């Protein structure tokens, strides 16, 4: 019997914010999922920003290959996606929640359905449900918490639920909603977590009733800032009882200059901004410790609230007796800083906090239960692995690796390295990171600075070895390995059928 696929993702979730890894946070449903499957503790994104990473999930390609190489770019509709292959094989395919394959502003050459003004054209969204990047059915929204670009199917659902004053809970396009800080005044019943869970469960019921196989992506928005959560979740965690990460004195002295600038009150990042566009992370990261502790409490609460609604989806699988026939993957599109190395949110800082993601796989009877694995995983591997498990040939264009043998416990690992890409500006913000079992190296385009960390001896990544003479030979070897890895991920989409 062919398996179903349920992909559940969060947005910007630090890899260790699971109760089974961190006793300060409560995630009983994700803990249950981990206990019934494999928890992979060394999973990585392909790019620590939303659009590139999410595009890699559905294309099985790296951002430099699928076209959506940065925030503000668009995944071309011409790109082949895993949903197309599964649809051709008879699967129903659907996405509920956040897509973010397209920018908030489109152009005549590169129009965007996720942009103004169509974003808030509710009449358009009443009839549009796909197809969209290989998903035959989509129910979308774009906002994080109270962001003003709320609309699409989420707003239609709010109105159907009787929430006629939904605009009161979101910031106006021209400014802030200052009465909402940490406590989001929206009732929990109208929170987008409730929407995603309800609509995901409805689709599960439909597919079950019709006896159809499915590939269903429940794409949650949290815990992406800003830090807002409805009552009573805003008081779930006591800030005074939480660990607050902080910078280690002097740790950035050997780091690239943009790391050092983050610890200044009024840093000048203009040398890195060729186009004048705002770049994530290129601001002062100085913060008040007590305020940060309060933010962490809300960040954890956002995860716990999301966990509740993930539990409803998992319970629906049980109720419909689909659990045994469904491969479930939980992960996030990239990580998050909440004080680690003195940093906040995200940016071109490839610490483990930013590039590692939570990653759980469950498939009863196929995936070993209650296991933890350090086998390297990448989000680019999801598409080819899903296809292999479904018995479908992997397209030549996909460059991710099939992890099914690792997921099923038949191999310890199939990867010996990971590659992360990050590019905002054409030249100044262009970096790549290579990670293997022990070492991590980050190289910047046309720059003589970089980072080299020994993850066995320096798990916290405090001691950058890049400029240390005694590590020059290791640095050269790792740069060569990065080059080999880049050569190895080039797609050979045209098969060779003859010698000439």
Percentage of residues in the chain having pLDDT higher than 70? 99
pLDDT at residue number 56: 98
pLDDT at residue number 74: 96
Is the pLDDT at 173 greater than 80? The verdict is no
Indicate whether 178 belongs to any domain: yes
pLDDT at residue number 486: 97
- List, for residues 365-394, the tens digit of each pLDDT value: 999 999 999 999 999 999 999 999 999 999
Indicate whether 431 belongs to any domain: no
Is the pLDDT at 88 greater than 80? The verdict is yes
Is the pLDDT at 495 greater than 80? The verdict is yes
3-state secondary structure 417-446: CEEEEEECCCCCCEEEEEECCCEEEEEECC
Is the pLDDT at 431 greater than 70? The verdict is yes
Q: What is the mean pLDDT of residues 491-500?
A: 88
- List, for residues 308-364, the tens digit of each pLDDT value: 999 999 999 999 999 999 999 999 999 999 999 999 999 999 999 999 999 999 999
- List, for residues 227-258, the tens digit of each pLDDT value: 999 999 999 999 999 999 999 999 999 999 99
- Among candidates 238, 232, 342, 353, which has minimal Cα distance to 294? 238
Is the pLDDT at 276 greater than 70? The verdict is no
Element at 4 (helix H, strand E): strand 4-10
The token pair that represents 10 in the structure block: 């969060």
- List, for residues 442-479, the tens digit of each pLDDT value: 999 999 999 999 999 999 999 999 999 999 999 999 99
Residue the block writes with tokens 């503790």: 41
Indicate whether 429 belongs to any domain: no
Distance CA 446, CA 461 (A): 24
Element at 215 (helix H, strand E): strand 214-219
Residue 274 CA, distance from chain mean position: 27
Indicate the average pLDDT of the chain: 96
pLDDT at residue number 500: 87
Distance CA 169, CA 69 (A): 33
Give the distance between the most distant pair of CA atoms in the chain.
Answer: 71
273 pLDDT band (50/70/90 cuts)?
confident
Indicate whether 449 belongs to any domain: no
Is the pLDDT at 278 greater than 80? The verdict is no
The model scores a pTM over 0.95 = yes
* CATH code of residue 86: 3.40.720.10
Indicate whether 243 belongs to any domain: yes
Indicate whether 294 belongs to any domain: yes
Is the pLDDT at 270 greater than 90? The verdict is no
Is the pLDDT at 300 greater than 80? The verdict is yes
Q: Is 267 left (phi over 0), alpha (psi -120 to 50) or beta?
A: beta
Q: What is the DSSP string of 28-88?
A: HHHHHHHHTSEEESSEE-SSSSHHHHHHHHHHSS-HHHHS--STT----TTS--HHHHHHH
The token pair that represents 352 in the structure block: 């483990």
pLDDT at residue number 475: 98
Per the structure, how many domains does the chain have?
1
- List, for residues 8-64, the tens digit of each pLDDT value: 999 999 999 999 999 999 999 999 999 999 999 999 999 999 999 999 999 999 999
Phi, psi for 314 (deg, rounded to 5)? -65, -40
Indicate whether 107 belongs to any domain: yes
Domain residues for 29? 4-410
The token pair that represents 242 in the structure block: 């939480």
pLDDT at residue number 245: 97
Indicate whether 129 belongs to any domain: yes
Distance CA 349, CA 340 (A): 11
């Amino acid at each position: 019997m062919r398996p179903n696929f349920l992909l559940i993702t969060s947005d910007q979730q630090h890899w260790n914010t699971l109760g089974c890894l961190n006793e300060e946070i409560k995630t009983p449903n994700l803990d249950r999922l981990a206990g019934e499957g494999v928890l992979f503790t060394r999973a990585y994104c392909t790019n620590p920003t939303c659009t590139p990473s999410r595009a890699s999930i559905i294309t099985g390609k790296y951002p430099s290959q699928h076209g959506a190489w940065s925030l503000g770019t668009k995944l071309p509709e011409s790109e082949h996606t895993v949903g197309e292959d599964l649809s051709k094989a008879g699967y129903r395919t659907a996405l509920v929640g956040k897509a973010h394959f397209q920018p908030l502003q489109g152009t005549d050459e590169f129009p965007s359905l996720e942009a103004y003004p169509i974003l808030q054209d509710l009449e358009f969204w009443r009839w549009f449900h796909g197809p969209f990047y290989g998903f035959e059915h989509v129910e979308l929204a774009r906002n994080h918490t109270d962001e003003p670009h709320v609309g699409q199917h989420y707003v239609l659902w709010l109105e159907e639920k009787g929430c006629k004053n939904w605009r009161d809970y979101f910031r106006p396009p021209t400014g802030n909603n200052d009465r909402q800080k940490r406590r989001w005044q929206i009732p929990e019943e109208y929170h987008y977590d409730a929407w995603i869970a309800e609509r995901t469960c409805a689709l599960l019921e439909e597919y079950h009733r019709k006896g159809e196989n499915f590939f269903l992506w429940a794409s949650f928005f949290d815990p992406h800032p800003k830090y807002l959560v409805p009552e009573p979740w805003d008081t779930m965690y006591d800030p005074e009882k939480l660990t607050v990460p902080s910078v280690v004195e002097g740790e950035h002295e050997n780091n690239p200059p943009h790391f050092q600038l983050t610890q200044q009150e009024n840093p000048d990042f203009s040398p890195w901004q060729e186009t004048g566009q705002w770049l994530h992370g290129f601001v002062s990261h100085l913060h008040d410790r007590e305020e940060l502790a309060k933010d962490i409490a809300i960040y954890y609460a956002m995860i716990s609230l999301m966990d509740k609604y993930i539990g409803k989806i998992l319970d629906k699988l049980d109720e419909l007796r689909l659990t045994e026939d469904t491969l479930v993957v939980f992960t996030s599109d990239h990580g998050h800083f909440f004080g680690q190395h003195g940093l906040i949110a995200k940016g071109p800082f490839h610490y483990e906090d930013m590039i590692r993601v939570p990653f759980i796989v469950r498939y009863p009877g196929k995936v070993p239960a209650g296991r933890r694995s350090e086998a390297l995983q990448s989000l680019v591997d999801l598409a080819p692995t899903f296809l292999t498990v479904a018995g479908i040939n992997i397209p030549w264009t996909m460059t991710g690796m099939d992890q099914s043998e690792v997921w099923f416990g038949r191999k310890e690992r199939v990867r010996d390295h990971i590659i992360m890409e990050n590019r905002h500006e054409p030249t100044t913000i262009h970096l790549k990171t290579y990670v293997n079992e022990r070492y991590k190296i980050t190289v910047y385009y046309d720059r003589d600075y970089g980072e080299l960390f020994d993850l066995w001896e320096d798990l916290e990544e405090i001691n950058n070895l890049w400029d240390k003479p005694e590590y020059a030979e290791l640095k050269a070897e790792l740069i060569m390995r990065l080059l080999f890895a880049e050569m190895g991920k080039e797609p050979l989409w045209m098969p060779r059928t003859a010698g000439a």
